[in-house]
Amino acid sequence: MDAISLETRKVTDIKGRFLIPAYQRGFRWTDESIKLIEDILDFDETEPSRGSRYCLQPIVLKKTAEGTYELIDGQQRLTTLYLIYKAIKSYGIKIDIKFKLIYEIRSRAEEYLENLSSDSAEDNIDFFYIKNSFVAITDWLQKQDDPALKAIELYRVLSERVEIIWYEVNEEEDSNALFQRLNIGKIPLTSSELVKAIFLSEASKKTLSRERQEEIALQWDAIEKELHDPSFWGFLTNAKENDYQTRIDLILDLDSGIDSRSYEKYGTFFYFDGQRKVGKDLMEIWQGILHTFLILKDWYKNHEFYHKIGYLIAVNKKLSDIYTLSKGKTKKQFSFALDQMIRASIKSDDKDYSEMSYENASDHKKMTRLLLLFNVEAMRQNGEQSMWFPFDKYKSGKWSLEHIHAQHSEGMKDVSDWKEWLTLQLGSVRTVGELQVAKGKVTRSALNDLIEKMQSMTANSSMTGDEFRAVRESAELILSDDSNLGFMHSISNLALLKTENNAALSNSTFDVKRNKIIELDQNGSFIPYCTKMVFLKYYTNSAETQLHFWGASDRASYVKKIKKTLENYLSETTKITVINEEQSNG
């Protein structure tokens, strides 16, 4: 196992000779140097009494001799720090700069950094950038109300509050390969790598045996591997693939109480490094991290917790809040607390869910959340515990409320949309039209005329909006069981479906959508369980089933099932009323 030295150091404690090897490009910062100064001073001003420190990103180095290091990563930061010190010294402030920078193939660089002569700046591109940065720093100081006072303030802040992460790799490390990874490959040193190094560093051997370090290294890698299971990760977080640099960061965040995505970049490292510095046992720190992971794994394996916690995270409840909620509770108490959170997530004091409308933005959001819970709970309540809602598949797409049976033309704006809609409906018009002819609801000649018009319009390159509207309305009459449009936008006619950039399908009638959903399901697409059951007429009594239509009895049966499934989360104020459409039309 490679020996690593890791610590945070005050920038005033940086000492030695730092060799910048030939494989690195030269110094290039100018504006970045000023931004660094301003960041440091802003930090001092905004956080004056917290005792916190401003920490520069890591410098990665390898010791080559006593007091001499190969600087693998951090040339820009260290050179800028050197130039800032030189600019401060120009005001007569006594500073002992304890480090020197040496360029492997750039002759006279050490001498140039010492003198910063403008005469040589044009002779070498690296000297040119170094000089430009130095001039930018001195110009910035000159623009201050009292340049000398500002230089003194800057030196004070650097001395008292600025640190750097010192990451020293093993002497056998391939420096060039590591440089390529950190710079050309743009894979930065992550906070989790620094935390890992706390346990595996040479200094840690004083409290951890080599065997213990190897055990931690193996467990660390095993945790990272398990968190790459799409199902496990999809249960734990809504984060996109690149939101976490390494997935164990999520565990470190929970254990430290810090969100590495919103806090300072190396916040979790500072937390665990702080624990080490105050004397906490390293094995105890690691056991805490491992314990956090095992709790999450237990939730994932528990059918009840998996669905309840998975739903809450899917609707943007924080995993950290749920983790905190679980502390000090038995499983029964924790389950009860989760139920309370779920109940609160669908609370609706002002309106019955059956009175909500797809067209109202606030209602739309509430109904979307309710139908997600319906899908999750339906699978949780499966007696055999053989069904698990696939949160990873759900989170891989965008989902919305879709009309189970649509009779409108929302989003269909041009001829291509109209032609696609006609093509989608044509098969169902033929099939269902025959049933309607047999029932006497449409004449044979009217059906044939409609089919002929639809075929003609899909073949032609142009049509008017009025022509399309007339044919659409005729087709919808054939494909609809009743003319009751009062429930078109209610929850009884809505299901959770993946958002399609396809206005024609979204505006299709029940029979067309049913055929398409069956096709998608057969081809392996993820269709939410309850949505699939809706289009298979699973909730409708067989005596009332009309395969090709979505009618009043279907809507009533659907709402009854939602209400029954979610009864544990409903209340006197959060209601779903099954409405008798015949009475309401009274």
Per-residue pLDDT reduced to its tens digit, 499-523: 765 555 677 778 888 888 888 889 9
Q: What is the 3-state secondary structure (H, E, C) of 72-124?
A: EECHHHHHHHHHHHHHHHCCCCCCCCCEEEEECCCCCHHHHHHHCCHHHCCCC
pLDDT of residue 411: 61
pLDDT of residue 423: 84
Q: What pTM, to 2 d.p., does this model score?
A: 0.75
Between 326 and 486, residue with greater pLDDT: 326
388: tokens are: 């698990």
For residue 586, pLDDT over 50 is answered with no
Q: Measuring CA to CA, how many Å separate 401 from each of 68, 361, 369, 397?
A: 64, 12, 10, 13
Mean local confidence (pLDDT), 330-334: 95
CA 396 to chain centre: 11
144: tokens are: 């201050």
Mean local confidence (pLDDT), 326-343: 96
Radius of gyration of the chain (CA): 33
- Phi and psi angles of residue 541, each rounded to the nearest 5 degrees, phi first: -55, 135
- Which spans in 166-318 are helix H? 175-179, 191-200, 210-227, 230-236, 248-256, 267-277, 282-301, 303-314
Best-predicted range by mean pLDDT (303-312, 411-420, 443-452, 514-523): 303-312
pLDDT of residue 334: 97
Mean local confidence (pLDDT), 22-38: 86
Give percent helix, percent strand, percent coil of the chain, each to the nearest 5.
60, 10, 35
pLDDT of residue 79: 93
Cα 198-203-204 angle, rounded to 5 deg: 55
Residue 223: burial class (beta carbons within 10 Å; 0-12, 13-18, 19+): buried
104: tokens are: 């492997």
Q: Measuring CA to CA, how many Å separate 549 from each of 46, 436, 444?
A: 65, 11, 20
Residue of 12, 150, 29, 166 whose CA lies nearest to 87: 150
To 10 degrees, what angle do helices 319-326 and 331-345 make?
Answer: 140
User: What confidence tens digit (pLDDT) does each residue in 36-63 have?
Assistant: 999 999 888 887 655 678 888 888 999 8
Best-predicted range by mean pLDDT (321-335, 485-499, 520-534): 321-335
Q: Tell me the average pLDDT of the chain.
A: 86
Between 351 and 245, residue with greater pLDDT: 351
Strands 494-498 and 399-403: antiparallel
